[in-house]
Copies of this chain bind each other. A is one copy, B any other.
């Protein structure tokens, strides 16, 4: 029988395209709740952060932010800032591009990720933030 469970994970970020690995906490929720087969939907409420997967190693933790600095730089003109003056126009553009959700399948209680593939929250806002990710599990229990 398939069940749906809605939980959350709190993440503290430094903002400024800080990349945080949430793989272990996501896997721990699966195990704690006894799910065997199905999918985890991760979703970040808010419009300046995103979810994706990445090989979580020091080089890419610099490369991916530098990529965003090139394609959606801070410091150019954003109409958002003319009204709101919060200096985070680039944060919104980056987050809408990368998207707020990620769905990862699991089987036998294990996330079906590659060995060098981690689930990450990327906080594009221009200041430190505490984020509460929605983690919704759909699947069968043991």
Contact = CB atoms under 8 A, between A and B. Distances in A.
Interface of A: 2-4, 6, 37-39, 41, 43, 45-47, 52-55, 57-60, 62-64, 67, 70-72, 78-84, 89, 92-93, 96-105, 107, 112-114, 116-117, 134, 136, 138-140
Given A54-B92, A63-B78, A98 B97 contact: yes
Contacts of A52: 96-97, 99-100
6 contacts: A2-B2, A4-B138, A6-B105, A59-B83, A60-B92, A63-B92
A60 B43 contact: no
A67 B6 contact: no
Nearest to A101: B103
When all copies of this chain in the complex are counted, the total is: 3
A140 B5 CA distance: 11
A7 B129 CA distance: 37
Contacts of A92: 54-55, 60, 63-64
Contacts of A96: 52-54, 60, 64
